[in-house]
Structure 1
């Protein structure tokens, strides 16, 4: 790899770290956040996951669509990690069964 590649990777790592720690630093200045801010921040992982998964629901095959529906149903009752794991396991199984 070229020397520039290492610099780009390092710069991306630094920027990513700064954006992550920057949010914590800003929120820590205000004490405990308002309950609505907390609720919004807790919804971010689910919103990001939805934005990543939604195109697959519309553009991929039936195995992907069914596994997204299964993961969504599990997410109504369980944690995010359990729903992601269930979605991945069902995707592998459905791809094996449906082809």
Structure 2
């Protein structure tokens, strides 16, 4: 397998951009005093991102994936996003194994 230098440079550039935006965002949030409205708006971002990722899968695939997406949405009401997503992955795997 060969690695094209342009591809490697692109991957490293995207990595640097991702790390920069994450660290700068964390740095700015610590330094800024946010109002109640801004904090409330920022709290809605993770569920919105989750729905943007889950919804196409729920409508474009089979029953195991659709049921798994519903499980993720319900679990996300009580759990943080990572455990909810993990629960969805496990449920899809079990439903597929069951032959649904």
Give the TM-score category using the shorter length.
0.7 to 0.9
> What TM-score do the two structures reach when normalised by structure 2?
0.81
Which sections of structure 2, spanning at least 5 residues, go unmatched? none
> Displacement, 1:73?
1.7
TM-score (norm 1): 0.81
Between the aligned partners of 1:40 and 1:96, the Cα distance in structure 2 is 40
Shift in alpha-carbon separation, 1:27–1:70, aligned structure 2, 3 A: closer
- 2:13 counterpart of 1:11: yes
RMSD: 1.9
Alpha-carbon displacement from aligned partner over 1:37-73 (angstroms, at most 9, x marks no partner): 2222232222112111100111100111111112222
Aligned pair count reads 98
Structure 1: give runs of 5+ residues left out of the alignment.
none
Segment drifting more, 17-26 vs 33-42: 17-26
In structure 2, what is the equivalent of residue 59 of structure 1? Answer: 60
